[in-house]
Structure 1
Amino acid sequence: MGMISRVRGRIRSDSFSKIPSMKSEDKIANIVWLLSLVLLLPYWAPRGLLVALGGAWLMAAYTCLVVPVLISANYKYPARWYPAAVKLSRDIARKLRGPTARVVSVLKAVYAPVENAELIFVKMTNLSTMLSQLLLFTACDRLFVEHSKLTSLYSLMFYNVVTYSVSYVRELCLKEDWSPYVNLTRNSQVKHLAMSATKIVLEWTKAVTFIVTITFVLLALGLEQGLDNYKPTALYTIITGIYYLLTERTFLELWPIALSAMKLERLEGMEPLYIGVWSRGVTTALAVPLVPALAWYERWRLAILVFYVCVWIHGRHRLGEALVKMNEACGSLARFRRATAEELATVEDVCAVCLGAMSSARVTPCAHFFHADCLRRCLATSDRCPTCVRPYIFC
């Protein structure tokens, strides 16, 4: 019996000691990987089940809550095969780099005529803006309005009416010459009868159109006449209203003025450039989530059009152009340091370009102070100091 027990003990010690024990981190990594598979199963479930349980909204909420947790958990406790898979993918990408570059060059050559057509389309600002607005309004109509009928067209018409009213009021506020007559020359007092009559008719037409427009809006909203098919939801109104305010030219001209009134010194007088980037970035971001939502409801043609016009063309050309202008402006000013509050208090001078007071300024190598926007405009025409006309020499 003693011999048998000694043999069993030797066998047990020799065999089980050679089996590697699994570490606690490996166990946690395997558990996290298995739980990730289980929690990702709803994405493979039939579409009818998810629609019955809550549809796209339930799936969006589930994605926002679960997917970040899964990514962070797998990042903290990676399985053993994760590094090997990453290394294998890097090796494959390194081997395919040459053929991929050749394929990309061929695709660029094929896509060049389409890109030229896109540039021509973007240059037709009114047409491209109206088409992007109509596509996004239609997408929101299909997604957020139940039993929608022409809600997008009603909305676009109503927003255009508001825009016309705003532009007319702005024209009245900025108008300096209230005379109904037109002189033959600038210094002449002789009236041009034909031009004066045309001007009077035009001004009266604008005024009557404005009054009729406001009356129509008040009657439509107050009495709800002719709005049987206009039943927008709050989410529809918010998304379409923000998109319209950030794409329509009339409001794009007003946003820099409103931002300039806030007198944010950090912007350094480049409010139009910042507004261009912010507006195009927000409008592109609004259009991006609509594409998978339309695809979820199997509206493939509308999803493709929204992606191509509102995301691809709008983001690639308009947002890209705004970012290039912003980077150029910031890059041209990066060489010049900001003036400190003590320096501005000591100088107590005005900008030599615009003759305005300086609450913030940039300093040139020749120790002259200018507004950042004024200096940027001067750099666009010359690389010399506007005051001493010396070339900038940076140490």
Structure 2
Amino acid sequence: MGMISRVRGRIRSDSFSKFHSIKSEDKIANIVWLISIVFLLPYWAPRGLLVALGGAWLMAAYTCLVLPLLISANYRYPARWYPAVAKVARKVARRLRAPTARVLRVLKAAYAPIDRAEKLFLQMNNLSTMISQLLIFTACDRLLVFRGRLTCLYSLMFYNVITYSVNYVREICTKEDWSPYVNVTRHSRVKHLAMSATKIVLEWTKAVTFIVTMTFILLTLGLEQGLEHFRPTALYTTITGTYYLLSEKTFLELWPIALSALKLERLEGMETLYCGVWARGITTAIAVPLVPMLAWNERWRLAFLIIYICIIVHGRHRLGEALFKLNEAQGSLARFRRATAQELSTLEDVCAVCLGTMKSARVTPCAHFFHADCLRKCLATSDRCPICVREYVFC
């Protein structure tokens, strides 16, 4: 009898503890839910309480610190009605799947002319890039510079001057023909007087323009204390400079060259594709946080233009195109395994395509080793091995 009573008491105590723990978790879930509502109240305050107290940066810092905590707390202690709401939402989504697909097809057909206009706009590369830069610079001007009304225009002018100087220096470094004369034909030694005179005038004009431009920059930055409305802050210069360097065509062509000099074997000779994805991704990421900050400052038209041009148009087309090219290149190489360090050390051979040493390589099914970039270029023209001319057969 004593043993039976002890077993009954232990069962009662265990069941009570389980009931008590469930009740305690429900209390914690309700408390977390109420605290979440309290912490979200500043977002609903008239004219933005956080912006009024400390500006847009206080709102951004508050968002980055508070929202992750609230989401993780509600995920850890979900209220009883969370699963019911999720179940109802899934049921409604299943019922609306077919009508939503029909609506999306109609919207896609209606959006087709706009899509063609966007692609035509992006084909005008210089114009589309300049408009996106001007929008980002203007947004930074409105948010980060308080008394500099023309800071965005002055900044864009200075960056363009620097780009011109970089282009001129690059042209000098890569120039092969230093002769000031132009021959009548490629294999003739007879000088074409008119074309030679034109070439000499153009070269001297470029040199004089470069000297005048550099002198102007030195005088403006060295002797003058600053232009009348040009008051950039360090954060403004960092954001605008980064966006310009990652969106201007001249620097987009230079970044892969600089990355190739590092000789990172992990990139497998696809520096141009990786730089395109990184540049488009970073510029889109710079534009995204500017939109809510402009909305809090009631700059609705500028916020809409940045959403449409800098995020939707440039992000969807240019970033999407860069990602597609990178995924296509990686997909073509995914069938071929990477060579191990032991295989490369025992091979002591060169790539049969470029005749360069192989620190990393891909192995074909016929046991031939190639650089990944060389193999990718060969795959673009033929699906056969460049050495034994056999078709690739994968098990």
- TM-score, normalised to structure 1's length? 0.93
- Following superposition, the deviation at residue 226 of structure 1 comes to 6.8
Residue 57 of structure 1 is matched in structure 2 by: 57
Partner of 2:6: none
> Taking structure 1 as reference, are residues 324 and 48 closer, same or farther at Cα in structure 2, changes over 3 Å only?
closer
Return the alpha-carbon distance in structure 2 between the equivalents of residues 262 and 99 of structure 1.
53
Which digits, 9 at most, give the CA deviation of each residue in 1:307-344, with x for residues without a partner?
11100001000000000000000000000001111111
Measured against aligned partners, the alpha-carbon deviations of 1:123-147 in whole angstroms (never above 9, x if no partner) come to: 1111111111111111111111012
Give the Cα separation in 1 of the matches to 2:52 and 2:318: 40
The AA in structure 2 aligned to 1:71 is I
Cα distance in 2 for residues equivalent to 1:374 and 1:157: 41
Alpha-carbon separation, structure 2, partners of 1:226 and 1:256: 35
2:231 maps to 1:231: yes
Cα separation, 1, equivalents of 2:389 and 2:122:
40
Counterpart position of 2:272? 272
Q: Which residue identity is paired with 2:47? A: R
CA distance in 1, matches of 2:196, 2:179: 9
Map of 1:121 onto structure 2: 121
Letter in 1 for 2:310: C
Paired position in structure 2 for 1:172: 172
Compare 342-351 and 332-341 and name the one that shifted more.
342-351
SS in structure 2 at match of 1:393 = coil
The amino acid across from 2:44 in the alignment is W
d(CA) in 1 for partners of 2:246, 2:48? 37
TM-score by length of 2: 0.93
Q: In the alignment, is the contact (CA less than 8 A) between 2:349 and 2:357 conserved in 1?
A: yes
Q: CA RMSD in A?
A: 1.3
Q: In the alignment, what sits opposite 1:162? A: 162
Q: Residue in 1 aligned with 2:138?
A: 138
One-letter amino acid of the structure 2 residue matched with residue 319 of structure 1 = L
Output the CA distance in 1 between the equivalents of 2:210 and 2:356.
Answer: 38
> In the alignment, is residue 327 of structure 1 matched against residue 331 of structure 2?
no
Aligned match of 1:86: 86
Displacement of 1:49? 3.7
Supply the distance in 1 between the matched residues of 2:305 and 2:62 (Cα, whole angstroms): 27
How far the C-alpha of 1:225 sits from its partner, in A, is 6.6
1:344 lines up with 2:344 in the alignment:
yes
Q: 1:190 offset after TM fit, Å?
A: 1.0
CA contact (8 A) 1:273 1:326 kept: yes
CA distance in 1, matches of 2:131, 2:139: 12
Q: 8 Å contact 2:141–2:151 — kept in the other structure? A: yes
Distance 2:48 2:329 in 1: 52
Which AA in structure 1 matches 2:241? G
Aligned to 1:310: 310
Identity of aligned pairs, percent? 78
Helix, strand or coil: the match of 2:381? coil
Alpha-carbon displacement from aligned partner over 1:221-247 (angstroms, at most 9, x marks no partner): 112277111101111100000000001
2: CA distance, partners of 1:384 / 1:134: 49
- 1:366 and 1:104 mapped to 2: Cα distance? 47
Q: Does 1:26 align with 2:26?
A: yes
The answer (yes or no) to whether the contact 1:150–1:230 under 8 Å persists in 2 is yes
Q: How big is the shift at 1:50?
A: 3.1
Report the Cα distance in structure 1 between the residues aligned to 2:318 and 2:226, rounded to whole angstroms: 37
Q: Distance in 2 between matches of 1:51 and 1:173?
A: 50
8 Å contact from structure 1 (residues 378, 386) kept in 2 = yes
Match status 1:210 vs 2:199: no
Distance in 1 (alpha carbons) for counterparts of 2:62 and 2:149: 31
How far is the alpha carbon of 1:187 from its aligned partner? 2.0
- Give the drift of 1:155: 0.6
CA-to-partner distance for each residue in 1:4-49, whole Å, 9 max, x for gaps?
Answer: xxxxxxxxxxxxx9xx876111111111111111111111112264
Q: Cα deviation per residue 1:68-112 (whole Å; 9 max; x = unaligned)?
A: 111111100101000000000000111111111111111111100
Aligned positions of 1:226-265 closer than 5 A: 227-265=227-265
Shift of 1:264: 0.4
Q: CA deviation at 1:184?
A: 1.4
Point out the more displaced range, 220-229 or 158-167.
220-229
Contact 1:135 1:306 in 2 (8 A): yes
For residues 126 and 43 of structure 1, the distance between their equivalents in structure 2, rounded to whole angstroms, comes to: 39
Give the structure 2 partner of residue 391 of structure 1. Answer: 391
Which structure 1 residue ranges, 5 or more long, are not aligned?
A: 1-16
Instruction: In structure 2, list runs of 5 or more residues that go unmatched.
Output: 1-15
